[in-house]
Amino acid sequence: MLKLTGEEFKKITKIVYDLTGIYLPEEKNTLLSNRLRKRLRELKLSTFADYHTLLLDKKALEEELPHFLSAVTTNETYFFRNKKLWSFIRETWIPEIVARKKSKHLRIWSAASSSGEEAYTMAICLKEHTPSLANWNVRVVASDISNRVLDQARRGIYNDYSLSSTPKAMQTKWFNKTDEGYEVKDSLRKIVNFQFHNLRDSFAKGTYDFVFLRNVLMYFDTPMKIAVMKTVTEALNQGGHLYVGDVDPIRQTPELHEAMTLERCGLNLYTKPAVASVGVGG
Ligand SMILES: C[S@@+](CC[C@H](N)C(=O)[O-])C[C@H]1O[C@@H](n2cnc3c(N)ncnc32)[C@H](O)[C@@H]1O
């Protein structure tokens, strides 16, 4: 079966890195070969060298990009992923911010959102607090580098797997059952927006009360992790919180840990101090 040679793997993963910051080590050769083989068949190309040549052509790359990014990203996600986090959001974070914030504006960012489950889960938690958030202006922004998953998110139709950790009562309350699956209700759609964003680039600065950055840092090398943390730190407002996933290796990456200007205030939780030096390492 066709497999990337060492040289082809290096050339293609350099393009992946330059575009996304995702670092693919040699052990990922079989995985990448399998994923790209499918694209070769669809494009009727016979070798990976042909595919590499295509990626070097600016116009061809533009067209191929959504497929290429789909092949190189891992988009696993589901509603209410990590029960501990969502209990914290519902029982601690929302009541505290409602009590603390005077402006009645709430801005949440689901960074590297994949197909939207995390962003809509947050929307459900916020809606469930409607009595206390009734007059608030609440927005959840979700972003990803893959337009394919963003299209799925905007469609808002999910399967049984996506909802496997969602209590039945919430399924009934927040989704319409259709022939295609479970469709999020308009009341959730109204407060969630999806947009393309590469985590390497800056995002709205000083804006967010809460940022999710889960299950994505581990795909990056140290310089990219530091760049991403700078983006996220700048995007938070003072007193805002960052939640990283269980396998996001901040403390296992000494250079990143040293560059952090956020304060750790829980197992996976960080906050931007009220008077902070803005940004990581700068
Ligand atoms: C495993 S999913 C995480 C989804 C969700 N945050 C969760 O934890 O359930 C990782 C996502 O990161 C996205 N991603 C990878 N590199 C990125 C980058 N440089 N900028 C933005 N998103 C990126 C991928 O497209 C993928 O959808």
pLDDT in tens, the chain (282 residues): 899 999 999 999 999 999 999 999 999 999 999 999 999 999 999 999 999 999 999 999 999 999 999 899 999 999 999 999 999 999 999 999 999 999 999 999 999 999 999 999 999 999 998 888 989 999 999 999 999 999 999 999 999 999 999 999 999 999 999 999 999 999 999 999 999 999 999 999 999 999 999 999 999 999 999 999 999 999 999 999 999 998 887 888 999 999 999 999 988 999 999 864 444 543
* DSSP per position, 119-156: HHHHHHHHHHTHHHHTT-EEEEEEEES-HHHHHHHHHT
pLDDT at 281: 43
Nearest CA to ligand 1 atom 11: 112
Q: How far apart are the first and last CA of the chain?
A: 48
Tell me if 195 CB under 6 Å of ligand 1. Answer: no
**Which ligand 1 atom lies nearest to the CA of residue 115?**
27
Task: Report CA(113)–ligand 1 centroid distance (Å).
Answer: 6
pLDDT value of residue 201: 95
The CA 221 to ligand 1 mean position distance, Å, reads 15
Dist CA 215 CA 157 (whole Å):
22
Q: How far is the CA of 234 from the centre of ligand 1 (A)?
A: 19
* Ligand 1 contact, 252 CB (< 6 A): no
- Count other C-beta atoms under 10 Å from residue 49's C-beta: 14
Domains of the chain with bracketed CATH: 6-72 (1.10.155.10), 83-271 (3.40.50.150)
Distance CA 198, CA 215 (A): 15
Distances from the Cα of 26 to the Cα of 4, 33, 34, 104, 248, angstroms = 11, 11, 14, 49, 21
Interatomic CA distance for residues 140 and 220, integer angstroms = 25
Give yes or no for residue 20 CB within 6 A of ligand 1: yes
Residue 231 CB–ligand 1 contact under 6 Å: no
Residue of 208, 264, 257 whose CA lies nearest to 231: 208
What is the model's pLDDT at position 275?
66
Residue nearest to atom 12 of ligand 1 (CA): 112
CB 76 less than 6 A from any atom of ligand 1: yes
Predicted confidence at residue 112, as pLDDT, reads: 98
Q: How far is the CA of 75 from the centre of ligand 1 (A)?
A: 6
SS3 string, 46-110, reads CCHHHHHHHHHCHHHHHHHHHHHHHHHCCCCCCCCCCHHHHHHHHHHHHHHHHHHCCCCEEEEEE
Ligand 1 test: best mutation among 68, 85, 144, most atoms within 8 Å of CB? 144
Closest ligand 1 atom, residue 20 Cα:
19
Ligand 1 probe mutation, 145, 158, 219, most atoms within 8 A of CB:
145
The full DSSP string for 209-246 is EEEEE-S-GGGB-HHHHHHHHHHHHHHEEEEEEEEE-T
Q: What's the confidence (pLDDT) of residue 105?
A: 95
Ligand 1: distance of its center to the CA of 144 in Å? 6
C-beta 77 within 6 A of ligand 1: yes
Q: Which two tokens stand for residue 99?
A: 């009590």
Distance CA 47, CA 42 (A): 12
